[in-house]
Structure 1
């Protein structure tokens, strides 16, 4: 059996949401018997020093890499992914790449040929979902591919976290993240038995269009290691862009292919999901019974009115089932088992 290894790296902060998924993946790899052959995971904010440590760690890892190993790389890996591929092939080792972001799909390259050529040097890929897998197959990728389905989010429940029972006369819909233009359009929705609780950065009260009768309640911004304990709501909203009627722009369109880490965060906050019907994760949400999809945010009033308290309670029970796997790293663990 081949030796299973990975290369830990430096992250800007142990509590930075941007690095949470990759740090969790390193932990899950270790828990599944994979060995780190680089330096220990570090959390140095200085970009120059952090890059230097990562460079030295990768070089040290490639020197230690034994022929015939299987090395798991996380992509993107700044400037080092190509270097790692070169070193792995030099040592006659198999490469399994765990894909976090596809820059071509985010408009970073303009054309996918450069990125596909690089990823095609992997022997195996773990991608987000069936939609992303189909896109890779359209690019004639040769690697063996499997899906992670949903990103894990390692966390231990805090028994003191606030979880208020649902008030069906005023259902709290949570949006967590950067405040996109659509957030301020929410006040244009027809009033119903719901409001929006906002968590994150970029909120500007001056942009609220209906300040005297707003449905928006800004709750603040919290570090990534604390936000789960602060979010208290009934549904989590997965939506990006400028309008209420569709997810537009680069980030909105990327929803057609990616698994937002935000969705996993909501599950750990015990909340069912409301998601754009063209998002890649919309099928997962409905198949697992953990929420519902909408083509426009204008549909929320009708959809919530159609749900009985018993149906919402069932969604919350289903959330607990999926949450158990998400917070213990089972989705990546199963993907690794399918490939190795």
Structure 2
């Protein structure tokens, strides 16, 4: 049986990890026999159109089998265009791996947008959702196909953090914009926090140090903190705003980044990933950021060592594509 996976690369210089999840999934599936179909993104309108039509031609040549689409792949124009082309091929079983759902993020109050996004997903025989919370939401919106959950995205990486105790501070990596990470401006603590990423604030509290922005393969070599923080919004009390509310449904790629290096995590108790963190004992769950210092101070070394050991065990799975392969096997059987 023919098996295909679509991948996304860029023709532009990029110093963020925005394509890593898709690239890793494509590489993992290629390692078990899937053929990669590449869509190359360009900012330039002419180059973008050329690349889109080139990818469409590749889709036309796909023979009967399974096609895995990474959703969303691109812009408002890209996904409808390519999904429409896929729909024409009745010989293919179609699977969507969900990287983001804008109905849950930037359009959470827009019922018409939600209907449109779900209608796009209705073109797929099966879906790999990020977690059970997202799966339940998709089903509640009327999707009738098969759904499995991946739980956590794999993260291909050869680096491990050798930190052995709880006293080496916290790392926070990602987009540092005010809307996404504004809480950092008020996160005063005795615990040092090292932050990495784009759009840093001009000034942070004295315990927070901005360390720069690096490609993912460089960043993983720098991680030696005791914990990785996953938090979005402007508030210390809860994850709030557009991105904070999204934490209730999605599995942030930060989780994969931290755990791939064997670093235990700190997450919000109402986040969709809280269950994964607790059930695998790979970190702590807090109600507010005010609780972080107390939780770490009251943690004994035996507790931290257990979390660290579990995080290292999970890292072995993430770094060999375990969760992707498990999810794809399940959806292949289901459809």
TM surpasses 0.5: yes
Residues 241 and 252 of structure 1 are in contact (CA less than 8 Å); yes or no, is this contact kept in structure 2? yes
Match of 2:148 in 1: 146
Superposed displacement of residue 14, structure 1: 7.0
Match of 2:59 in 1: 62
Residues 10 and 50 of structure 1 are in contact (CA less than 8 Å); yes or no, is this contact kept in structure 2? no
Match of 1:25 in 2: 25
Match of 1:247 in 2: 239
SS at match of 2:195: strand
Match of 1:259 in 2: 251
Cα distance in 2 for residues equivalent to 1:240 and 1:219: 19
* Deviations 1:63-93 (CA, angstroms, capped at 9, x unpaired): 2122x32211111122333333333332212
Residues 269 and 285 of structure 2 are in contact (CA less than 8 Å); yes or no, is this contact kept in structure 1? yes
Cα distance in 2 for residues equivalent to 1:50 and 1:9: 15
Cα distance in 1 for residues equivalent to 2:297 and 2:255: 23
Cα distance in 2 for residues equivalent to 1:9 and 1:171: 36
Residues 16 and 216 of structure 2 are in contact (CA less than 8 Å); yes or no, is this contact kept in structure 1? yes
Match of 2:3 in 1: 4
Match of 1:184 in 2: 185
Cα distance in 1 for residues equivalent to 2:54 and 2:5: 11
Cα distance in 2 for residues equivalent to 1:227 and 1:50: 30
Cα distance in 2 for residues equivalent to 1:132 and 1:103: 12
Cα distance in 1 for residues equivalent to 2:129 and 2:145: 11
Superposed displacement of residue 121, structure 1: 1.5
* TM-score with structure 2 setting the length: 0.89
SS at match of 1:275: strand
Q: Of the candidates 275, 281, 294, which is equivalent to residue 286 of structure 2? A: 294
Mapped pair 1:329 → 2:321: yes
SS at match of 1:242: coil
Cα distance in 2 for residues equivalent to 1:10 and 1:201: 20
Match of 2:73 in 1: 77
Q: Which shows bigger deviation, 233-242 or 196-205? A: 196-205
- Structure 1 residues 90 and 200 mapped into 2: Cα distance closer, same or farther (>3 Å)? closer
Cα distance in 2 for residues equivalent to 1:73 and 1:98: 6
Q: Which shows bigger deviation, 84-93 or 6-15? A: 6-15
The unaligned stretches of length 5 or more in structure 2 are none
* Deviations 1:211-269 (CA, angstroms, capped at 9, x unpaired): xxx22122222222211001220000000111110000110110111110011111123
Residues 267 and 274 of structure 2 are in contact (CA less than 8 Å); yes or no, is this contact kept in structure 1? yes
Superposed displacement of residue 336, structure 1: 0.5
Match of 1:173 in 2: 170
Residues 42 and 48 of structure 2 are in contact (CA less than 8 Å); yes or no, is this contact kept in structure 1? no
Match of 1:99 in 2: 98
Q: Of the candidates 278, 297, 306, which is equivalent to residue 298 of structure 2? A: 306
- Structure 1 residues 231 and 53 mapped into 2: Cα distance closer, same or farther (>3 Å)? farther
Superposed displacement of residue 335, structure 1: 0.3
Residues 100 and 128 of structure 1 are in contact (CA less than 8 Å); yes or no, is this contact kept in structure 2? yes
Cα distance in 2 for residues equivalent to 1:90 and 1:205: 51
Residues 259 and 311 of structure 2 are in contact (CA less than 8 Å); yes or no, is this contact kept in structure 1? yes
Residues 9 and 54 of structure 1 are in contact (CA less than 8 Å); yes or no, is this contact kept in structure 2? no
* TM-score with structure 1 setting the length: 0.88
Cα distance in 2 for residues equivalent to 1:317 and 1:265: 16
Cα distance in 2 for residues equivalent to 1:149 and 1:85: 25
Match of 1:317 in 2: 309
Cα distance in 1 for residues equivalent to 2:197 and 2:14: 18
Cα distance in 2 for residues equivalent to 1:9 and 1:223: 17
The unaligned stretches of length 5 or more in structure 1 are none
RMSD: 2.1
Q: Of the candidates 264, 269, 278, which is equivalent to residue 277 of structure 1? A: 269
- Residues 194-233 of structure 1 correspond to what in structure 2 (within 5 A)? 194-206=191-203, 208=204, 210=205, 214-233=206-225
- Structure 1 residues 107 and 202 mapped into 2: Cα distance closer, same or farther (>3 Å)? closer
Match of 2:132 in 1: 130
